[in-house]
A and B are shown apart, each in its own frame.
Chain A
Amino acid sequence: MVLTVVSSIRETYLQAYRGMLLARLLDEKFASLYRTGKIHGGVFLGRGQEALSVSIGMKLRPGDIFAPLIRDAAGRLAFGETVLDAIRSYLGSPLGPMRARDGNVHRGTPKTGYLPMISHLGAMVSVVNGALMAHRFQGITGMVGAVSLGEGATSTGSFHEGFNQAAVEKLPLVLVVANNQYAYSTPTSRQFACDELVDKAIGYGVQGHSLDGNDLSACLKVVGDAVDLARRGRGPQLVVARLLRLCGHGEHDDSNYVDPELRSAPFARDCVKVSEEYLLQQSWADQTILDSWRNESIQQIEDAVATVRREPAPDPYAEDWSALSSRHLLEGQEEA
């Protein structure tokens, strides 16, 4: 029995690590494509947040709802997004889920519960609430919804309205806040005045959980517990992870404003490196295996990039320029 549990913990950890690694390498590829001018618009990386993000994706099941944010490549892949679709969105392929109409991190497949974010922070909270309310109306039970946010988003009115709404309706919502110390360039001291963000849970009448976000074991445990509690009908759960964003807000940003003292804090260590050390220390993997996993992921990403770059670009003359699905309500159709 004990052996089975250990084996299961190890398997989960290994799976999570590989998900983190894939996301990290995918992000690095996006950064490289950005620097060589192959990506239109911004590139936003999840460097330093992979352990937390992958834990959300892994603890959700098919049928659950997930609204990731800009630093969630790991969670998106773990929830079922393909590397191909992620790359299609960044490169603007019409074969991607957003068909080149939207791109980069604004991507998802609503029919599978993977909701595409809009740029307005906090806006996804109430949308996930609504999806959970639909489950309630339809008699669907046992499903949860998760929303990923940064600490900056907790300052918005949308966050407050959405989180309060979830609490009032006692919805199975897990709200995961990555407190990565900076919202673009704004430090937490200019974002909120409470000692700990997780204390906000009290004010909303929900259960709060906090952890260091670069500890993969802790992420899997705490996020998993919060998801389980929500699934068992215990209402909304707030998870706040302390970590440091190990990149700019976007790749255009050198983040020279980050306090050097923060960089040396224990919670600021790179979660991928921390996990690798743990794997080696536990003898769950050796360097040869780590290298082979890395090479496998790089190959997978390179193959997908090559595929997408062979795909056609969107054609403005063939584009269906209609914002309504009800074609009879479009103006000017006779002339078209």
Chain B
Amino acid sequence: MSITYLEAICAAQAKALADDPRVYIYGQDVGGFGGAFKATKNLAREFPGRVLDSPISEDAMVGSAIGAAIGGMRPIIEMQFADFSLPGFNQIVNHAATYFWRTNVTCPITIRLPSGGLSGGGPFHSQSLEAIYAHYPGLVVMTPATVEDAYSMLLEAVAIDDPVIYCEHKYLYNHLKADKLPTEAMPTGKARIARPGRDMTIVAYSAMVHEALAIAEELAGEGIEVEVVDLRSIKPLDTDTVMASVARTGRLLCVGEAWPWGGVTAEVIARVASEGFGLLDAPPQRLNAKDTPVPYHPNLWAAHRPTAHSIGLAARKLLRL
């Protein structure tokens, strides 16, 4: 048996629905149709009345989740694409994220964002928005990179009493497979050493972990041992694991699929430079998507986001510094 990243997301939701009567799923086309990507396939049939089609109303989808959550429910909101969470942005950052701090009443909602690029997605179906959500206090932001994390972190997202932005990567949906679902999980907030190495640290998350692992494998053939750190969640951000890795390697390259201005790579480098300057043998480097909207054509798209190839170029440059 093998299970994909997408099937793991579906299976986690089935388990959440089965285990907890407070859980329901609400989003566009998630009902009988099973979702635009089939992340809720068969769930409406298995859990009648608990997997509901919403109107095309992202603001009201999130707003109603807030009302239901403070009324004792555990809603899972599926945004059809991460890009479409932006019409619901106000309810997420100004309402859900402020709720506990303002009122001392928890607001446990999970918002699933199908994130990142597939070739042909273009400017409005390819965005990686984790950084703008992480910028706001009151949100947890998860960026699972493996089938196991896709499953266990989604279950944890539903169990957490605070609003969680769960960024699932569309490229990984069908590209990643595991033999089985995990029975144990690392806690959210702990980064994972995806590959140990002594010569440099590449910090990545979501789909970029796999691009980093691919180039690490190639560089290993040349005798260069790259340590790959998978952040798993970007908020909380596990600075300790990153710092410990940099302490071992002395060199840091941070990779993200999101745009370059601010964001996760800038945050990681700021923290390492500020708290671990003495650990660095070379200036820390970062690699992001280009500072343009995400392009449509596969040739342009492949050049827009970091890939194993471009990460390799950045890694070789870092080794020369």
Contact = CB atoms under 8 A, between A and B. Distances in A.
A binds B: yes
Interface of A: 65, 97-99, 101-102, 106, 108-111, 115-116, 118, 120, 123-135, 137-138, 157-158, 161-162, 164-165, 168, 322-326, 328-331
Given A120-B94, A131-B68, A325 B63 contact: no
Given A126-B60, A129-B63, A134 B101 contact: no
A174 to B, nearest CB: 15
Contacts of A111: 105
Given A130-B63, A134-B68, A157-B87, 8 more contacts: A98-B103, A110-B103, A118-B95, A118-B98, A128-B67, A134-B72, A323-B98, A330-B236
Interface residues of B, number: 50
A101, A130, A323, most chain B CB atoms within 10 A = A130
Contact of B57 (A65, A132, A138, A161): A161
A164 B162 contact: no
A204 to B, nearest CB: 12
Nearest to A135: B71
B138 interface: yes
| A contacts with B: majority SS | helix
Contacts of A130: 63-69, 71, 73, 75
Given A118-B94, A157-B87, A326 B71 contact: no
A115 B105 CA distance: 11
A157 B138 contact: no
Interface of B: 22, 24, 50, 54-55, 57-73, 75, 87, 90-91, 94-95, 97-98, 100-106, 137-138, 140, 160-162, 187-189, 235-237, 239
Question: Top 6 closest A-B pairs, CB basis?
Answer: A130-B67, A126-B63, A134-B71, A130-B64, A161-B60, A161-B57
Contacts of A162: 57, 59-60, 63
Contacts of A132: 67
Contact of B59 (A118, A161, A168, A329): A161
A329 B188 contact: yes
A126 B64 contact: yes
